[in-house]
Structure 1
Amino acid sequence: MRRVRENSRAHRVRTAAAAVVGVLALVTSAAACKVEKVGAAEPTAAATEPGARPADDAKTGSGQGTPGPATPSRTPGARPSPEPRTLMSVGDRSERVRELQARLRQIGHFGRTPTGYYGTVTVAAVRSFQGKRGLSRTGTTDTVTWERLLAMTREPTAKELDPPAARPAPAKPDARCLKGRVLCVSKNSRTLSWMIDGRVVSSMDVRFGSQYTPTRDGEFSVYWKSRHHVSTLYDSPMPYAMFFSGGQAVHYSSDFAARGYDGASHGCVNVRDEGKIASLFAQVRNGDKVVIYW
């Protein structure tokens, strides 16, 4: 009886031990599964394909993948630069042209006295300036040329715009100029003085004919006025013409305004200040005296 009980007890002990071993086996298996899930993620399909790249790289072109085409940058609100606009060109006459010439003279591109007339000399000076600055050599002053010139020069003074040396002093009047209404012209001082009874009303600088086409000396009178005259002999404009001896006249000359004393007339008395001769033309009458002397 005692042996039976002992055998029964031993059986229960073995059964309990087996149960404990089974429980331990289950716990160990569960822990192993948990560690496997945490430490080793299953690879994705994209990663297992040959040549595949991470999803983020495919979207942005960054990282180790081949970068995609760059998108041009654009400044918000930016506008294209406007085309150059012409400000001054050949044939213009203004105080702004005079300023252009004075500024060009400051930096050695215009070697003459400013006249305010945009002639061939000014065209050449502007081309010279444009060529030195890598601009198109048009000879026309556009916005680009003007802005570049303003940046390189200072505002001209009154003397630079109209130098005293550019205004010849009138000579002592000839005795024949002291009575009546007279266009008193001195070849020595290269001036014309409009005089009434010995008083100088206005004065302006003039030029004369060359040695081959000289301006005649002497005392004459105005016999014909022609506001928009054109020479039939030379086919050249002679605005504000006041004829005093054959085909010779006192008149405005755009060539004189552009070239100064580098040129000459065909015998006429040229005036380069259009404003002054326009005023003179309005005052002079047919029959007024003209005296030309040395």
Structure 2
Amino acid sequence: MPAGQAVGGTACTKLTGPYQRQVERWLGLKADGRQSAADCKEIAAFQKDQRIKPAVGYAGPATWSRMMLLAAREAPNAAGKCPVRTYRVACVDLDRQLTWVQKGEKVVFGPVPMRSGKAGYRTRRGWHTVYWKHKNHWSTLYNSPMPYAQFFDGGQAFHAVYGSIFTTVGSWGCVNLTLGDAKKLWNVLKKGDHVYVWGRRPGT
């Protein structure tokens, strides 16, 4: 996004981001949902510290996702929304756009950022089962690659994307991951493992 003003030597955007209010609240700023020079300075400083580019103070998906990840890293299931079972459960948190795998109370993968389905193509909530794994899958429906695809409900699957997952628009229903995270998850989940999806992606 374009830079607009310089604050303390940092190029800052004047644009209000889609996650403005949430980012302001997380940083302890006045959560009015409107960009200001002071907001931009603090957001840009956070972005620089977390190596988010461009660090221009825009409250976009990448910044909000990093904040959610940092808050959840130690105990992603602190709220108990993902059922604890003796077997592996892949937890898909649509509210925070995070996914992890737990066995009992032990987290064995993640949490990692993800991108779920957009409005009209929501990732289906509830219990599912991994029924097919296809490492080099190609979607004939959308004519696009789906590396490390692990299908759990019809055409919905965990899979990697080669572009950014940090977009305001969601997927066509799948749980999109970075290539590195999808590869790691491929080695964790097995056919027959359980998946639990809850919440709602912001904006859907």
TM-score range, shorter chain: 0.5 to 0.7
Query: How far, CA to CA, are the matches of 2:185 and 2:82 in structure 1?
Result: 21
Are positions 1:165 and 2:61 aligned together?
no
**2:55 maps to what in 1?**
none
Report matched runs for 1:63-212 at 5 Å: 107=11, 159-161=49-51, 164-165=66-67, 167=69, 169=72, 170-171=76-77, 172-174=79-81, 176-202=83-109, 203-212=111-120
Task: Work out which of the two has the higher radius of gyration on C-alpha atoms and give 1 or 2.
Answer: 1
SS at match of 2:102: strand
Aligned-residue Cα RMSD (Å) equals 2.6
Shift of 1:176: 2.5
Asked whether the 8 Å contact 1:177–1:291 carries over to 2, the reply is no
Residue 261 of structure 1 aligns with an amino acid whose one-letter code is: T
Query: How far, CA to CA, are the matches of 1:235 and 1:216 in structure 2?
Result: 22
Q: Deviations over 1:5-33 (max 9, x none)?
A: xxxxxxxxxxxxxxxxxxxxxxxxxxxxx
Residue 229 of structure 1 aligns with an amino acid whose one-letter code is: H
Query: How far, CA to CA, are the matches of 2:158 and 2:189 in structure 1?
Result: 11
Structure 1 or 2: more strand by fraction = 2
Shift of 1:166: 6.3
* Structure with greater contact order relative to length (CA < 8 Å, sep ≥ 6): 2
Are positions 1:270 and 2:176 aligned together?
yes
Query: How far, CA to CA, are the matches of 2:113 and 2:80 in structure 1?
Result: 15
**What's the TM-score, normalizing by structure 2?**
0.61
Structure 1 or 2: more helix by fraction = 1
**1:283 maps to what in 2?**
188
Report matched runs for 1:250-269 at 5 Å: 250-257=158-165, 260-269=166-175
Shift of 1:189: 1.6
Shift of 1:271: 1.2
Residue 224 of structure 1 aligns with an amino acid whose one-letter code is: W
Residue 185 of structure 1 aligns with an amino acid whose one-letter code is: V
Asked whether the 8 Å contact 1:179–1:196 carries over to 2, the reply is yes
Query: How far, CA to CA, are the matches of 2:98 and 2:195 in structure 1?
Result: 13
Shift of 1:179: 2.9
**What's the TM-score, normalizing by structure 1?**
0.43
Shift of 1:160: 3.4
Query: How far, CA to CA, are the matches of 2:11 and 2:68 in structure 1?
Result: 19
Superposed structure 1 runs of 4+ greater than 6 Å apart? none
Shift of 1:158: 7.3
**2:57 maps to what in 1?**
none
Shift of 1:255: 3.2
Asked whether the 8 Å contact 2:68–2:96 carries over to 1, the reply is no
Structure 1: gaps (5+ residues): 1-105, 113-156
Structure 2: gaps (5+ residues): 1-9, 18-46, 53-62, 200-204
- Report how many aligned residue pairs link the two structures: 142
Shift of 1:254: 2.5
Residue 223 of structure 1 aligns with an amino acid whose one-letter code is: Y
